[in-house]
A and B are shown apart, each in its own frame.
Chain A
Amino acid sequence: MTSPPTPYPRLHALGDAAWIVEFGNLIDEATHARVMGLAQALEAARVQGGWPQVLEWVPAYTTLTVHFHTTAAADVAHEAAEELLALARASAPLLQPGRCWRLPVCFDADCAPDLQALALARGLSLDDAVALLTETPFRVYMLGFQPGFRTWAALPAALEMPRRSTPRTAVPERSVAVAGRMCAVYPWRSPGGWHLVGRTPLNFFDARDVQAPAWLQAGDQVRWLAVDRERFDELERCTATSGMVRSEWLAPPESAP
């Protein structure tokens, strides 16, 4: 019996110095495990001195992007393409057991400028929308966009909305945002095209913590905990002054969605 041919993994050029290795087009744990498997294979090879032409790699939901050095001597990315694809095919999936977190979010209107419109567009009451956001255990798939930006899946289909057709030029720092089936936090004030549905008082990135500047890791599980404005302000002050003991926000493990 032969299985149908799969187009994955396959390469897409991101300019002349990077390849995007695509493992599928759906956000799911199996595809993500392939992404993390290739990242681990590259890491293991690098420890042995392999892949010297590689600058760094960036895991996402369904892709691992490999950035190469650019030199005037050769098109090193192009020369490495076949070998990279072979490694992508050969590397075993990696499912990381993550930690569980219960993290505070304020859903008040000034913290959540798009929540009302999103609920309306999807035929939900505000309370229903908040309930969906807080009852869903999200798995951390990706660290990115900005330092501390964490992207979670999967948002319930009832809250699914495409990104804004024109991104905002300024999103307030620590906004909790959704787009498509994803949920994330903007840790810093920045432009952004997601819908803003809440705000967390926590700071998910601290460069002074040299060992682990990023609070969350791929594989971690997060549930949002609704807090009122008073508690939000209190935690925000605490974050600003003394920092936050991360382990206080650990939660007992629960089953994945």
Chain B
Amino acid sequence: MSGGAKEQAVNGEAGDRAANGQAADRASNGEAGNRAVTGEAGDRAVTGTVEFVQPGAAVSIQDRGRVGHRAIGVPLAGAADPLLMACANALLAQPADWAVLEVALLGPTLRAVGAPVRVALVGDLAPVRTPHGGAPMPLTSWRSFTLQPGEQLAVGPCRSGIAYVALAGGVAVPPVLGSRSTYARAALGGLDGRAPRVGDQLACGPGQGAELQSPTAWQHPHATGPLRVLPGPQEEHFDAEAWQSFLGSEYSVTPDADRMGLRLQGAALRHVAGMGADIVSEAVAPGAVQVPGAGQPIVLGVDAQTIGGYAKIATVISADLPRLAHARPGSVLRFAVVTREQALAARVLLAEALANWVRQLGPVRAHGEPDEAALYASNLISGMIDAGE
């Protein structure tokens, strides 16, 4: 690409500045003391770089989201499946919400530049690593590994749901309004709010301790059941027949599906005469199920607009929001009403499941440093429970 060298240099600088900024942010928030693993500063001091050889498709930088700006219309954004993001970071023995690469379709191909770098992969991926001058080697997901300078990692297609690539030290781009999350519609966060391009570079540390792996893929404990919802806020805009359709039939995800929301197709949900589809615009949230006049529901995602004016029949409970991230065009969704008590119980179960998953991480045997690695894993568990929130 023309002007590539200059652009790379600029990107490299931005990355360095961001790395310092990220450390400073965390120190001032007290996060470093509470959550970071020992040696974070050292980890950051020695950085290599990963360079995008191929940008992939539907790849974005995400962290826990841009909290605190919805009053001026800035959507939350953030990892669509924060639990899976936590898994990726756990494989690098680092805090659950450090920025990662979210992969919704095709993962990027990354090359280590300058120094060894450590990355972790989670999700339904078929990655391939190619050592400098060597032959391609298929890899498995659900582990971290070190790339030597010149070595390439083709993350490859995400075969179902979504996937994450974590970098040691976190993806170091400058925070915008308190978050590194990409909100593409307003070009906020990430790499100037855009998708990665060939030649983009991100700082990446060498990692610490052993490479970690999981014997099992992370699975949401309620991965296959209906999406659990609380009724409303406008449940009274829908009569018994509409409710029967909503809870008793299947809805398929149309091609209009992205981080902002999933447009569904199924039995039309008629509004009660005299109330209609329109309400006085009010705040919405990820998980809200809007029903416009034509009666086909839209489930809002993590990039949800902050305000909406269509009646909302129900709202997906927080424990099931990560599951929305794995729906794709053609996926079939069902809905079931639960109580607040059941919604809380689901959160408890989810946090426990994540803690258990992190607990079973172990060192990759070839590089065995078992005791140290096990220690990292157990130290992480308290942090992971927060991440399950």
Interface on A for B, CB 8 Å cutoff?
Answer: 12-18, 20, 22, 25-27, 39, 55-63, 65, 67, 69-72, 74-75, 78, 142-149, 151, 162-167, 169, 179-180, 182, 187-191, 193, 205, 207, 213-214
Contact = CB atoms under 8 A, between A and B. Distances in A.
Contacts of A58: 70-71, 283, 306-307
Interface string B308-348: 11101001111000000000000000000000110110011
Nearest to B339: A16
21 contacts: A16-B340, A39-B71, A56-B67, A58-B307, A61-B280, A67-B285, A71-B389, A74-B344, A75-B340, A78-B340, A143-B71, A144-B307, A145-B308, A147-B188, A162-B277, A166-B292, A166-B293, A166-B296, A190-B185, A190-B260, A213-B177
B185 A188 contact: yes
B70 A67 contact: yes
A72 B305 contact: no
Given A15-B285, A143-B73, 11 more contacts: A13-B315, A22-B282, A25-B280, A59-B71, A63-B280, A72-B388, A144-B283, A151-B281, A151-B307, A182-B281, A207-B177
Contacts of B234: 12
B296 to A, nearest CB: 7
A19 to B, nearest CB: 9
Contact of A162 (B293, B315, B388): B293
A189 B186 CA distance: 8
A16 B317 contact: yes
A63 B282 contact: yes
A65 B292 contact: no
B191 interface: no
B384 to A, nearest CB: 11
Contacts of B72: 143-144, 147, 213-214
A91 B358 CA distance: 46
Interface residues of B, number: 60
Contacts of B69: 56, 147
A188 B256 CA distance: 18
A146 B280 contact: no
Interface of B: 67-75, 176-177, 183, 185-186, 188, 230, 232-234, 256, 260-261, 276-278, 280-285, 287-288, 292-294, 296, 305-310, 312, 315-318, 340-341, 343-344, 347-348, 350-352, 385, 388-389
A18 to B, nearest CB: 5
Contacts of B276: 162
Contacts of A12: 232-234
A185 to B, nearest CB: 11
Q: Which of B67, B261, B347 has the most CB of A within 10 A?
A: B347
Contact of A15 (B256, B277, B318): B318
Contact of B277 (A18, A65, A163): A163
B309 A20 contact: no
B347 A70 contact: yes
Contact of B283 (A14, A72, A189): A14
B344 A14 contact: no
Contacts of B306: 58, 144-146
Contacts of B185: 146, 188-190
Contacts of A72: 344, 347-348, 350-352, 385, 388-389
B75 A146 contact: yes
Contacts of A62: 280, 282
Contacts of A39: 71
Contacts of A60: 280-283, 307
B293 A56 contact: no
Contacts of B351: 72
Contacts of A167: 292
Contacts of B232: 12-14
A115 to B, nearest CB: 20
A166 B256 contact: no
A148 B374 CA distance: 48
Given A56-B71, A145-B306, A162-B276, A193 B292 contact: yes
